Amino acid sequence: MTDRMLVQYEDFWSHPSAVSLSWLGLLYGVLSLSHFFSSEPDHRESQRQPKYLECLVQCLIAADYVRGGPYILECLIHYYLVEFYLNPVTEVGNWMVAGMMAQLAFRMGYHRDPSHFPRISAFEGEMRRRVWATIHILDGTMAMLIGAPRIISDGTWNTRPPRNIYDADLDQDCVQLPESRAGTEVTEVSFLLARYKMSLAMGRLVDLSLMNKLESPENVNSAEARLKEAYDSIPEKFKFTSLVHCLSDKPVSVAHRVIITCLYNKSRIILYQRQLRKVASTGSSGPGSSEENENWTSAARRKCIEAALEIMKHLLFLDAETQPGGTLTMLRSKVSALVVHECLVATAALSTYLYRWSDAPAVDESEGAVSKSGIEAILRQSYQTWSHWSNWSAEARRAVELLDLLFKKLGCNSLDIEIDEEALPMDEMELGLDWDADTLGIFFPLLNEPSV
């Protein structure tokens, strides 16, 4: 809690009936998240409908949240986060909540920088910037997961990013905000800023993909430059290379590193994944292709595979370090839930490439930095991790079935790998996967055709 929230909390106990329903809902939201993160990580089933979350919903309804007002957006953000952690499979529901938050934010003027409104204090203005950045992140994230347009599109807002300042630097009575600290100085808002920078670049990527403009090398190169610029502007403190470089970091800081790095590499996969479909049995990029275009396609495909392999390394790292005695033991499935989709996309990309490669013996293995056997090896290593994660993740169960299909195609038996059969309720998946033209759409929603 911030100092301001603590003061309000103390006032609440002095005059309980004086607080608004929306503030009370925010309190229940804080308690819901606190309860979740302080409880045992593997007891998700007993937390499906926590009491605090139910009270939060009651407060939102009683406060007539669709009209907006103080603390309404903060309440909805907490509700979204709790639902995301407790029910990560309800992507459509979370997408609708994120869209509703974005629409409410527009209605309440969060898309305009507070400096244009003299009646908004410096403190309130900075809080509004933080809320807007959070909603922008959630809107872009869900658009990428669902494969739908963003609510917050470029050119419809001018709110500046929050400043990189400590919470202790903020005073609700201040007339002027303190200067932003250096980007290399980590404050309570630094991770939000890093995610926000990635969100800005990824949002543009979603727009281009939905408009089918990622077939053009010029557009891809432009989007790649923007994505790299955003990632390069993020402090090294939020980038993961190996555990050796963050031995002194707190577990949550290590998790932040993994999250940002996986987001960047997932964006690279989405940027180049159309080139995976161009692995034809002849090894050609397509009839009539110029040598220059073929070289570009080959390079793009290689970048896609490299990005996928980077994420798979993080997948294996998370599985190892969330075991008892590991660096991230205290976070367990909580941090895994934040990157499970990134890992699924990487698994799908490698599987798709390897599957098509198995039908194309003429393809030159020297095209990429990793051979067919190297890709197959890391997918085999990941199989047991996905099996473990299947206890709580529907996306992990997707990955298991995907790999089963792949290994069957390659003529090897995935069941040779020791797994916990109780963790694989295959009869409940109801995915009906078969490797055809629609397979990529299951894992890359941005490629899906409109449904009738």
pLDDT one-digit tens code per residue, 334-367: 777 888 889 999 999 999 888 876 655 434 444 4
**Per residue in 119-130, pLDDT tens?**
999 999 999 999
Question: What per-residue confidence (pLDDT) applies to 405?
Answer: 86
Question: What per-residue confidence (pLDDT) applies to 223?
Answer: 93
Evaluate if residue 39 carries a pLDDT over 60. Answer: no
On whether the CB atoms of residues 355 and 348 are closer than 8 A, the answer is: no
Rounded average pLDDT over 300-304: 90
Evaluate if residue 429 carries a pLDDT over 60. Answer: no
Interior angle at CA 392, CA 389 and CA 393, nearest 5: 70
Q: Write the CA distances from 270 to 167, 190, 243, 286, 335, integer angstroms.
A: 36, 26, 26, 20, 22
Interior angle at CA 106, CA 451 and CA 110, nearest 5: 135
Instruction: Specify whether the backbone of 147 is left (phi greater than 0), alpha (psi in -120 to 50) or beta.
Output: left
CA 317/CA 265 separation, integer angstroms: 16
The more confidently predicted of residues 384 and 4 is 384
Query: What is the share, in percent, of the chain residues with pLDDT greater than 90?
Result: 47
Evaluate if residue 306 carries a pLDDT over 50. Answer: yes
pLDDT band at 392 (very low <50, low <70, confident <90, very high): confident
Strand intervals (E) in 247-360 = none
Tokens for 37, please give them: 């993160």
Question: What per-residue confidence (pLDDT) applies to 1?
Answer: 56
Question: What per-residue confidence (pLDDT) applies to 284?
Answer: 43
From the list 37, 148, 88, the residue with the least C-alpha distance to 341 is: 88
CA 155/CA 368 separation, integer angstroms: 39
From the list 233, 236, 259, the residue with the least C-alpha distance to 246 is: 236
Distance, CA of 41 to chain centre: 20
**Per residue in 245-291, pLDDT tens?**
888 889 899 999 999 999 999 999 999 988 877 654 344 444 445 77
Question: What per-residue confidence (pLDDT) applies to 254?
Answer: 92
Q: Write down the pTM of the prediction.
A: 0.86
Query: What is the share, in percent, of the chain residues with pLDDT greater than 70?
Result: 81
Tokens for 340, please give them: 């499970």
Evaluate if residue 201 carries a pLDDT over 60. Answer: yes
**Per residue in 431-450, pLDDT tens?**
333 444 445 555 556 555 55
Evaluate if residue 147 carries a pLDDT over 80. Answer: yes
CA 421/CA 415 separation, integer angstroms: 10
On whether the CB atoms of residues 403 and 383 are closer than 8 A, the answer is: yes
From the list 257, 233, 231, 261, the residue with the least C-alpha distance to 244 is: 257
Dihedrals phi, psi of 309, to nearest 5 degrees: -65, -35
Mean model confidence pLDDT for the chain: 83
Residue 160 in 3-state DSSP? Answer: coil
CA 396/CA 362 separation, integer angstroms: 33
Residue 179 in 3-state DSSP? Answer: coil
Question: What per-residue confidence (pLDDT) applies to 145?
Answer: 86
